A and B are shown apart, each in its own frame.
Chain A
Amino acid sequence: MNYFISKFRIIISFALRDFSKSRFVLMFTIIGLSSAFTAVFLSRGILDGFRTTLESGAVDVIGHLIVYPQEGEDEIEKVDSLIEKIKKIDNVQALSLRNQTFVMLEYKGHVPGSYTGLGIDFKQESQTTKLPFDIVEGRFLSGKDSKEIVIGQNLADALVDLEYDGEKVPVGAKVQVITTSGQKISYKVVGILDGKTFVPNWMAYFNKDEMERIEPQTKNNQIIIKLKDENFLEETRELIQSQNPNVRVRTWHEEATYVDDMVLATQFITGSIVVLLVISVIIVTSVIIFINVYNRRRQIGILKSMGASNRFIIIIYLSEALLYSTTAFIFGFLFFMLINIKSIENPIPLLIGDFHTEFNSRDIVPLALIFVVATFGGSLFPALSAAKTRIADVLRNVI
């Protein structure tokens, strides 16, 4: 054991001396590799941040779980007793009963199309989703005046003209709602809402009672549930479903499939960047170790003449590569953390929400392992070529 520790110490000591010999080269190598490592962490941070932005955007609007009536039914059966049962589940934090239907809106004679209308209870909704707090102009529904309406900002824009130019229906304006029965009812726009995702910005929001009055067939057709711990999403869904076979319980994943699609697309892009960076790390490591081996062939020959084995020579250069990548990994990680802190302090306002990078501690070990493998991969071939150095060639000054 002592023998191996002693050998290990010589190898590390030798590799360290070699590693730190040219400070200029060392500095540039570390900067180059650190940049690659920072970029890898950043790619992961962007992906995680983007995912969070999309996911929280969806959850903030539709909660974690959504309960619908059975297929073919308009209304959730025995909704009051169902709500009582759901409220008793430990993992349920809050819920909101909604009415959802399609309505047509008309503004100054312009009818852009049919959109989702949502009847909501302000009190329940404010405990379950962030919709009541996403108002960008005016205010949210008060619950007192049945003839008020809030419009998603994309819909507010579309009501003016087809061009998406930011010109919206002003707060205070009157819009006509055409119900499924063809009735035209005038409502006052009290607020414009930006839900930071696509769906809520194309919706019209009514007081729940008013929606029930104009579209009675849509009464109580949706319960939005906010959970305390999302990690038990599936378990909670199964529990509600098993207790109430007469309803359909869906997760926000199933409702907002666009989130997974967009994350997948981003994952492909960031994954490709990571793969390319890993390849560049392999190549850079390989070139650096090749240069080191080329410059130190005489020294390698001397070591071999002193009795160093091929394995010893190989391990020296693998260790040297590992020193480069470990140092660069640490610097790269620290630099990423700096960027991450700045990004959290200064999030970028996007249409889909405020974006900032994220650090996931679970990324460290797999990324470190990838780089250890990449480093070994890159340095193995030059290390093998170092071991093949012929002592006689060194002594004859052929090399």
Chain B
Amino acid sequence: MEALVSIRNVFKEYVMSSQLTIPALNGISLDIIKGEFLAITGHSGSGKSTLLNLLGLLDDPTRGEIYFAGSDIHNFTEKQKVSFRLNAISFVFQFFNLIENYTAVENISFQLLLQGYSGREAKNRAREIIDFLGLSDRASFFPHELSGGQQQRVAIGRALAKDSLLILADEPTAHLDSKNGEAIIELLHDINKQFNRTIVLVTHEKEEARHSDRNIMMRDGKVVNIVNVQK
């Protein structure tokens, strides 16, 4: 099986002062297989979100290498990093992080416009995605007019809009009730299967990790267990 991402002996330390350094990741090595649904679980402070930030080039490791499709992404120039974030990966955040002045459909089309789609193409594709998400009647609503679950669907739609290979979801259900949370996890699984997107889901809910292909458990910045889920 082909590894989309290879993480090799990665450390991340936060220097708080000359005398205080907090280790967040302690020599993590891991492969993420193309097309898999990978769940990363662990308690608060276990390093799972830090790992996700490193995968998404939102932060740099203290040492170690991260290869994406064979390229060491942390050696990228700033321009390459921007291009990588624009085209290769998508994020789904726990706080939804939609653009507040844009409607649901505009939030999705904006991502496409950023990628260079024409206005018409972006609008049409965004409409298709809104329909897929079941939010056709909420397309012209602004984020503050949507429920948490609906906002997170739009955020997932935005991630789906670009043809990225990897979707990084950082506790996407943390601010949702259980019913909406389940629906969001189900939607991510649908996208994984239907669109063959590799998904890395960070969660502290073991239940959410149950249906993933693999479940990586982290503690104190280390991988303590890898479970291949039998389906």
Contact check, A307 vs B110: say whether CB atoms are below 8 A apart: no
Between A17, A305, A312, the greatest number of chain B beta carbons within 10 A of the residue's beta carbon is seen for A305
In the complex, whether A242 has a CB less than 8 A from a CB of chain B is no
Known interface pairs A6-B116, A6-B119, A10-B110. Does A305 touch B102 (Cβ–Cβ under 8 Å)? no
Interface string of A311-325 (1 = CB under 8 A from B): 010000000000000
Contact check, A302 vs B97: say whether CB atoms are below 8 A apart: yes
In the complex, whether B11 has a CB less than 8 A from a CB of chain A is no
Contact check, B82 vs A307: say whether CB atoms are below 8 A apart: yes
Q: Which of B49, B99, B115 contacts A307 (CB 8 A)?
A: B115
Residues of B within 8 A of A302 (CB): 97-99
Contact check, A308 vs B114: say whether CB atoms are below 8 A apart: yes
Contact check, B118 vs A6: say whether CB atoms are below 8 A apart: yes
A307 to chain B, nearest CB (A): 3
In the complex, whether A228 has a CB less than 8 A from a CB of chain B is no
Contact check, A307 vs B87: say whether CB atoms are below 8 A apart: yes
Known interface pairs A6-B119, A9-B119, A395-B93. Does A17 touch B82 (Cβ–Cβ under 8 Å)? no
A375 to chain B, nearest CB (A): 22
A313 to chain B, nearest CB (A): 11
In the complex, whether A391 has a CB less than 8 A from a CB of chain B is yes
Interface string of A1-12 (1 = CB under 8 A from B): 011001101100
B112 to chain A, nearest CB (A): 10
Contact check, B113 vs A310: say whether CB atoms are below 8 A apart: no
Q: How many residues of A contact B (CB 8 A)?
A: 28
Contact check, B58 vs A395: say whether CB atoms are below 8 A apart: yes
In the complex, whether B53 has a CB less than 8 A from a CB of chain A is yes
Among B59-82, those with CB < 8 Å from A are 59, 78-79, 82
CA distance A392 to B60 in the complex (A): 10
Q: Which of B58, B86, B99 contacts A392 (CB 8 A)?
A: B58
Residues of A within 8 A of B87 (CB): 307
Residues of A within 8 A of B83 (CB): 307
A81 to chain B, nearest CB (A): 79
Among B89-111, those with CB < 8 Å from A are 91, 93, 95, 97-102, 110-111
In the complex, whether A124 has a CB less than 8 A from a CB of chain B is no
In the complex, whether A21 has a CB less than 8 A from a CB of chain B is yes
Between A301, A306, A395, the greatest number of chain B beta carbons within 10 A of the residue's beta carbon is seen for A306
Residues of A within 8 A of B119 (CB): 6, 9
CA distance A3 to B118 in the complex (A): 8
Interface size of B as a range: 20 to 34
Interface string of A282-320 (1 = CB under 8 A from B): 000000000000000011011111111110100000000
Residues of A within 8 A of B85 (CB): 304-307
Between B56, B58, B79, B158, the greatest number of chain A beta carbons within 10 A of the residue's beta carbon is seen for B58
In the complex, whether B36 has a CB less than 8 A from a CB of chain A is no
A295 to chain B, nearest CB (A): 11
Which residue of B is nearest A3, CB measured? B116
CA distance A301 to B53 in the complex (A): 13
CA distance A2 to B121 in the complex (A): 13
CA distance A301 to B56 in the complex (A): 13
Residues of A within 8 A of B97 (CB): 298, 301-302, 305
B93 to chain A, nearest CB (A): 6
Which residue of A is nearest B168, CB measured? A305
Contact check, A307 vs B86: say whether CB atoms are below 8 A apart: yes
CA distance A331 to B95 in the complex (A): 40
Residues of B within 8 A of A10 (CB): 110, 113-114
Residues of B within 8 A of A395 (CB): 49, 53, 58, 93, 170
CA distance A236 to B86 in the complex (A): 69
Known interface pairs A307-B82, A307-B86. Does A17 touch B59 (Cβ–Cβ under 8 Å)? no
Which residue of A is nearest B155, CB measured? A302
In the complex, whether A230 has a CB less than 8 A from a CB of chain B is no
Between A9, A307, A310, A392, the greatest number of chain B beta carbons within 10 A of the residue's beta carbon is seen for A307
Which residue of B is nearest A391, CB measured? B58
Contact check, A392 vs B59: say whether CB atoms are below 8 A apart: yes
CA distance A303 to B231 in the complex (A): 37
Q: Could you jot down 22 A-B contacts, CB within 8 Å?
A: A3-B116, A9-B119, A10-B110, A10-B113, A10-B114, A17-B102, A21-B101, A301-B97, A302-B97, A305-B56, A305-B85, A305-B97, A306-B111, A307-B82, A307-B85, A307-B87, A307-B162, A312-B114, A392-B58, A392-B59, A395-B93, A397-B95
Given contacts A302-B97, A396-B49, 11 further A-B pairs with CB under 8 A are A6-B119, A10-B113, A299-B100, A301-B97, A305-B85, A305-B93, A306-B85, A307-B87, A308-B114, A392-B53, A395-B170
Q: Which residues of B contact A (CB under 8 A)?
A: 49, 53, 56, 58-59, 78-79, 82-83, 85-87, 91, 93, 95, 97-102, 110-111, 113-119, 158, 162, 170
Top 6 closest A-B pairs, CB basis? A307-B86, A17-B101, A392-B59, A391-B58, A307-B85, A309-B82
